[in-house]
Copies of this chain bind each other. A is one copy, B any other.
Amino acid sequence: MSTKKKILIQLDSDPHPSVFDRVVAVDAGAEELFAYGGVKPDDVEGLVHGAMFTRGPADLKHTAIFIGGSDVAKGEAILKKVTKTFFGPLTCSVMLDANGANTTAAAAVLRAAKHVELSKVTALVLGGTGPVGQRVARLLARQGATVRLGSRSVDKAGPIAAHINQTVESQNVAAVATGDEKDLLGAIEGVELVIAAGAAGVKLLPAAVRKETKSLKVAIDLNAVPPVGIEGVDVMDKEKERDGVITYGAIGVGGTKMKIHRAAVASLFEANDKVLDAEEIFELGGKVQ
């Protein structure tokens, strides 16, 4: 019987560790929160050793690590360093959700799955080369969807699509150009699901194009800052029907995202060897939403 408190170590690359992630951690049941801001990969080893060497292997599941911060690439570098520091049975569970990218991508794909069959759907991911877009494409491809990875430049999207195909061992992902209306009309033809995961304030899909896409069933916009990415979708939309299309805005997806985020943090304390990245968080989300 162990009475060790649940400690969550928050490693955040931003100067001030995220209030958002801290509140969710508290609400998810973390009893002690060690919040670190301005964390660089070189800082990781010492911090993680402190987690590894203080509680016996049987109690290590009560210590877990959360990696946040607004920069997803930095978060990924920290995660790599964390898992590399572990050895033998001296591991803690760890979760990556820098910029909310994993929980957001998981929530978007799980909402989509309520309306289309992922293994058969043809999907277009707008802003597909960004951290959230790549994760959305990865999750869709793993479910067997045919994925078009949209980007202004197909030269930029190409290698990323190839990398995702390699990761998920499929040929499901293809790069498409979506930089102007003509490109977009080609890219969206026959698409049933569109998910916009672009930078804040960039209009990715004009209403005119959307309305011409007869095949479209579901449109999910993950951008919360106006102008939204899919014209005509409201940030509050949640299963809202607009012109025969089911739409979601960022806040409409937010409830699912938050539920997944909390469940993922809570699950860290069930074992000492979990590594929660996009796929694991998506799988977990499927059980809790």
Indicate whether A7 reaches chain B with its CB closer than 8 angstroms.
yes
A38 to B38, CA, bound (A): 13
Which residues on the B side are within 8 Å of A46 (C-beta)?
16, 18-19
Most buried by B among A4, A9, A26: A26
A24 located at the interface, meaning its Cβ lies under 8 Å from any Cβ of chain B in the complex: yes
For A50, give its contact among B19, B53, B63 (CB under 8 Å).
Answer: B19
Partner pick for A258 among B15, B26, B54, CB 8 A cutoff: B54
The distance in angstroms between the C-alpha atoms of A39 and B17, with both chains bound, is 12
A5 lies within 8 A of B26 (CB) = yes
Q: How far is the CB of A110 from chain B (nearest CB, A)?
A: 19
**Which residue in chain B gives the minimum CB-CB distance to A36?**
B16
Chain A, 2-54, CB within 8 A of any chain B CB: 4-5, 7, 9, 15-16, 18-24, 26-27, 32-36, 38-39, 43, 46-51, 53-54
For this complex, into which size category does the number of interface residues on chain A fall? 35 or more
Say whether, besides A26-B7, A35-B34, A20 and B55 are in contact (CB < 8 Å): no
Q: Return the chain B residue nearest A43 by Cβ.
A: B16
Other-chain contact of A63, B18, B23, B49, B51 (Cβ < 8 Å): B23
| A-B contact list, 16 entries, CB within 8 Å | A4-B27, A7-B26, A16-B46, A16-B47, A18-B46, A19-B46, A19-B47, A19-B50, A19-B54, A20-B49, A20-B54, A21-B50, A22-B34, A22-B50, A24-B54, A34-B35
Interface residue ranges, A against B (CB under 8 Å): 4-5, 7, 9, 15-16, 18-24, 26-27, 32-36, 38-39, 43, 46-51, 53-55, 63, 254, 258
Contacts A16-B47, A19-B54 known; 17 new A-B pairs at CB < 8 A = A9-B19, A16-B39, A16-B43, A16-B46, A19-B34, A19-B47, A19-B51, A20-B49, A20-B50, A20-B54, A21-B50, A22-B34, A23-B55, A24-B54, A27-B55, A53-B254, A54-B258
